[in-house]
Amino acid sequence: MELPPRWAFLLFLLLSSTKASGSAVDKEEFQEELLLKPLPDRKVLAHFHFETRAPPCNSNGRRHHHLFPKAISQMVEKFRVKEMELSFTQGRWNYERWGGFDTMSSNNAKPPGVELWAVFDVPKEQVDASWKNLTHTLSGLFCASINFLESSTMYSAPEWSFRQASGSLRYGMLPREAVCTENLTPWLKLLPCRDNAGLSALMDRPSIYTSFYHSQRLHLTSNASDLEGLNPGIVLEQTLTVVLHPSSQRTSLTHISESYLQPSWSLSSIFGRKVNGRCALAKSSKVYLQLERGLVSELEKNIGSEGYDVEANFELSVNPDRVLKEENSRHGIGSSLLYEFSVDKYSNSKPFDLGLTWKFPVIWSCQQAPLHAIRFLMGSGNERGAIAILLKSTDLNDSSPGADSASDGCELHVNIFQIVPWYIRVYYHSLQLFVDDQLKAVGAFVEKIHVMPSKDKISPGMMEMVLKLPCGVKSAALTLDFDKGFLHIDEYPPDANQGFDIPSAAISFPNFHASMHFPSNDSERESPMLSKFQESSPVLSYTEVLLVPLTTPDFSMPYNVITITCTVFALYFGSLLNVLRQRVGEKERLLKSKAAAVKTGRPSELLSRLLAKLRGRSQEPSQSPSESSPLINSKLVLKVLLMAALAVAWQYYFG
């Protein structure tokens, strides 16, 4: 049977559209991964990594997504976001115990509160407007107070210290923002399976929000070319980093050496759940167990040999599918091990529950950044003070991996990026530099500096600096004097007596790069997390959030004034209305009726006389209505005159 030309044409359009949509679906990818790593202080690091890729726009500029969240795609297209990163963090990353010279601390350790930075593909005069619209959109999307960053007093425009963006970068931070499940729930809604299936099902709310540190991050890249020169369209990277303390299975320590025995743990013990298979929409679902370089070196010392004999120190409940060894033997630094587990072969009847049981005690330390940064306040009182940034050596010299050995004179470069609110008036000319506890000339060690002084109620203060220190330096300290400003009563936060927060400062080392290189094969290209580990990124750390006490007014005084004023007005108008509503004729009739009742009621009169005699008083004769009316009239006149006098006095003194 031969179809009419019209129906044949419609069938052709249907088949072509189906083919086009199928190709679009094939290009969209979603992958989920989980990294577990024991820490030296008997804790466990869990790092969830989800990546969703969308193809580039069609020729007509429209996108039809099946896996990629539509809200993110519309936001990118409307505000022309080139790159963006948003993080919600509770707690502070412990650089001394959890590491400061690895990709995890440099890329995923974020400051407390909310941090947002974005790069826009718009003209420079439109960047601020796009930033304000973006903050409002993200605030509604993640149920947070990100819209506070729309004010020019809350964000800045770094030029080169934080990230190279040629004037189209905006950076803002809310250090006091509280993080709760209201922020995690919309973050999970961006995943194809949410938290119903796959690795995201492990995200038990009590386990996450009772942890020592947790940070959820969203990194977005749009219209960026990869290493092969291809245009991946939009890449959405969602990570959740949690530091947990597993409950040890041992109730008592019977040997003195067992006090250093790492606690045994499993997924069900730290999260209270197991993995019942992968997300049906995920291209791949993998779990990795990482033993860092310091731990592997100590395990090899215990065994007395090298290679994979380190497994004699512990026992895994699940056999790994593959073991990857880091290709990093420069300068005698050990290599980390990565155990890979595929979740594809597990289901509800056979859940995945990875467990690690230690057999022998082991003590190790994480690799540190070349300098450990500490920031604190100096001075006392509510008028003046100083901000100090102390950089202490961690015995990491230029022979460590990542150092620039070609630099003349072995110099250590340190980038410092700091934002200070406008009510902290920093005097940048008071900058002092102490190297090894000795005051030095600032120009001899500062290679480049960019300062933007704050403007009252307009913009915050910003400082970008590149320090050039010798490699053998033991300590270096920077101090900046400031004055504390005065705020309007409407500008104080609800709990003003707690103090005001100064956001964390970012300290980076451009000569030191953190990366992990594994044997190159096709499987690593399919793993977004491993590809991120192989990217060379500068070592970055954040300082503490400073709490500055400011002069606060007595917030009870407005309450007292309001209550007194309301009381006076109530007495004035109440008495005035009472006087105006009284009627003299009705009062006279009431008195006449009472007098008549007294005359007719002889028993009551006799009783009143008897009571008067018992008290030793003479009974006063009852007044007639004609005698009482002048008294009543005089009281009425006095009340009216008193109220009028109060009104005149009020208008004279307070009018």
Q: What's the pLDDT tens digit per position in 472-524?
A: 899 999 999 999 988 888 888 888 888 899 999 999 999 898 888 887 665 55
Supply 118's token pair. Answer: 């974005």
CATH hierarchy code of domain 369-398+407-503+545-578:
2.60.40.1170
State the Cα–Cα distance between residues 309 and 43, nearest whole angstrom. 24
Rg, the chain, Cα only: 37
Which H/E stretch holds residue 25? Answer: helix 5-27
DSSP 8-state class, residue 3: P
State the Cα–Cα distance between residues 134 and 142, nearest whole angstrom. 12
Burial 234-269 (b: 16+ CB within 10 A, else e): bbbbbbbbbbbbbeeeeeeeeeeeeeebbbbbbbeb
Query: Looking at the predicted structure, is the pLDDT value of residue 19 above 50?
Result: no
Report DSSP letters for 127-163, one per residue.
Answer: HHHHHHHHHHHHHHHHTSSGGGGGSTTTEE---SSS-
Supply 198's token pair. Answer: 């796959």
Query: Looking at the predicted structure, is the pLDDT value of residue 250 above 80?
Result: no
Query: DSSP H helical segments within 176-223, as ranges?
Result: 181-189, 205-209
Query: Quick check: helix, strand or coil at residue 236?
Result: strand
State the Cα–Cα distance between residues 361 and 299, nearest whole angstrom. 10
Burial 291-316 (b: 16+ CB within 10 A, else e): bbbbbbbbbbeeeeeeeeebbebbee
Q: Are strands 355-358 and 265-266 parallel, antiparallel or unpaired?
A: antiparallel
Q: What is the pLDDT of residues 110-138, one digit of tens each?
A: 999 999 999 999 999 999 999 999 999 99
State the Cα–Cα distance between residues 128 and 541, nearest whole angstrom. 27
Q: What percent of the chain has pLDDT over 70?
A: 80
Walk across the sheet containing 384-393 and list its strands: 371-378, 384-393, 475-484, 424-435, 438-440
Q: What is the pLDDT of residues 380-391, one digit of tens each?
A: 888 899 999 999
- pLDDT for the residue numbered 519: 77
Q: Which of 196, 529, 532 is closest to 340 using CA atoms?
A: 529
- pLDDT for the residue numbered 61: 54
Q: Distances from the Cα of 502 to the Cαs of 111, 172, 173, 420, 484, in angstroms?
A: 12, 12, 10, 6, 12
pLDDT confidence band for 27 (50 / 70 / 90): confident
Query: Looking at the predicted structure, is the pLDDT value of residue 165 above 50?
Result: yes
- pLDDT for the residue numbered 194: 92
Q: What is the pLDDT of residues 560-596, one digit of tens each?
A: 888 888 998 898 888 888 878 777 677 777 777 777 7
State the Cα–Cα distance between residues 242 and 49, nearest whole angstrom. 12
Mean pLDDT of 339-357: 92
Mean pLDDT of 180-191: 94
State the Cα–Cα distance between residues 81 and 52, nearest whole angstrom. 17
State the Cα–Cα distance between residues 218 and 416, nearest whole angstrom. 24
Query: Looking at the predicted structure, is the pLDDT value of residue 371 above 60?
Result: yes
Report DSSP letters for 76-104, one per residue.
Answer: HHHHTEEEEEEEEEES---HHHH-SSSHH
Mean pLDDT of 522-546: 84
State the Cα–Cα distance between residues 46 and 35, nearest whole angstrom. 6
Query: Looking at the predicted structure, is the pLDDT value of residue 305 above 60?
Result: no
Supply 493's token pair. Answer: 């936060």
Query: Which class for 613: exposed (0-12), middle (13-18), buried (19 or more C-beta within 10 A)?
Result: exposed
Tokens 């480049």 correspond to: 448
- pLDDT for the residue numbered 398: 43
Q: What is the pLDDT of residues 436-449, one digit of tens each?
A: 999 999 999 999 99
pLDDT confidence band for 306 (50 / 70 / 90): very low
Which H/E stretch holds residue 578? Answer: helix 556-581
Query: Looking at the predicted structure, is the pLDDT value of residue 421 above 80?
Result: yes
- pLDDT for the residue numbered 646: 79
Angle between helices 584-600 and 625-654 (to 10 degrees): 140
Q: What percent of the chain has pLDDT over 90?
A: 52
Supply 392's token pair. Answer: 């202490």
pLDDT confidence band for 226 (50 / 70 / 90): very low
Query: Looking at the predicted structure, is the pLDDT value of residue 419 above 70?
Result: yes
Q: What is the pLDDT of residues 590-645, one digit of tens each?
A: 777 777 765 665 555 656 666 666 666 655 554 444 444 454 456 667 777 887 88
Do 466 and 447 meet the contact criterion of CB atoms below 8 Å apart?
yes
State the Cα–Cα distance between residues 40 and 295, nearest whole angstrom. 8
- pLDDT for the residue numbered 574: 87
| 253: Cβ contacts below 8 Å, ≥ 6 apart | 259, 261
Work out the number of other CB atoms within 10 angstroms of the CB of residue 281.
17
- pLDDT for the residue numbered 606: 59
Q: Which of 505, 488, 501 is closest to 158 using CA atoms?
A: 505
pLDDT confidence band for 225 (50 / 70 / 90): very low
DSSP 8-state class, residue 622: P
Q: What is the 3-state secondary structure (H, E, C) of 300-368?
A: HHHHCCCCHHHHHHEEECCCCCEEEECCCCHHHCCCCEEEEEECCCCCCCCCECCEEEECCCCCCCCCC
Mean pLDDT of 337-352: 92
Amino acid identity, position 441: A
| 244: Cβ contacts below 8 Å, ≥ 6 apart | 43, 44, 45, 46, 207, 211, 212, 270
State the Cα–Cα distance between residues 119 and 221, nearest whole angstrom. 10
- pLDDT for the residue numbered 382: 82
Q: What average pLDDT does the structure give for the chain?
A: 83
Q: What is the 3-state secondary structure (H, E, C) of 242-307?
A: EEECCCCCCCCCCCHHHHHCCCCEEHHHHHCCCECCCCCCCCEEEEEEEECHHHHHHHHHHHCCCC
Query: Quick check: helix, strand or coil at residue 591?
Result: helix
Do 477 and 390 meet the contact criterion of CB atoms below 8 Å apart?
yes
State the Cα–Cα distance between residues 338 and 317, nearest whole angstrom. 16
Query: Which class for 165: exposed (0-12), middle (13-18), buried (19 or more C-beta within 10 A)?
Result: buried
Task: Provide the whole-model pTM.
Answer: 0.80
- pLDDT for the residue numbered 610: 63
Q: Which of 401, 249, 240 is closest to 330 using CA atoms?
A: 401
Mean pLDDT of 308-337: 78
State the Cα–Cα distance between residues 315 and 140, nearest whole angstrom. 46
Q: What angle do CA 398, 404, 409 make, to 5 degrees?
A: 70
Q: What is the pLDDT of residues 463-473, one digit of tens each?
A: 999 999 998 89
State the Cα–Cα distance between residues 351 and 345, nearest whole angstrom. 9
Burial 114-151 (b: 16+ CB within 10 A, else e): bbbbbbbebeeeebbebbbebbebbbebbebebebbbe
Query: DSSP H helical segments within 497-539, as ranges?
Result: 522-526, 528-534
Work out the number of other CB atoms within 10 angstroms of the CB of residue 105.
24
- pLDDT for the residue numbered 9: 45
The domain limits of the chain are: 25-367+515-542, 369-398+407-503+545-578
- pLDDT for the residue numbered 161: 82
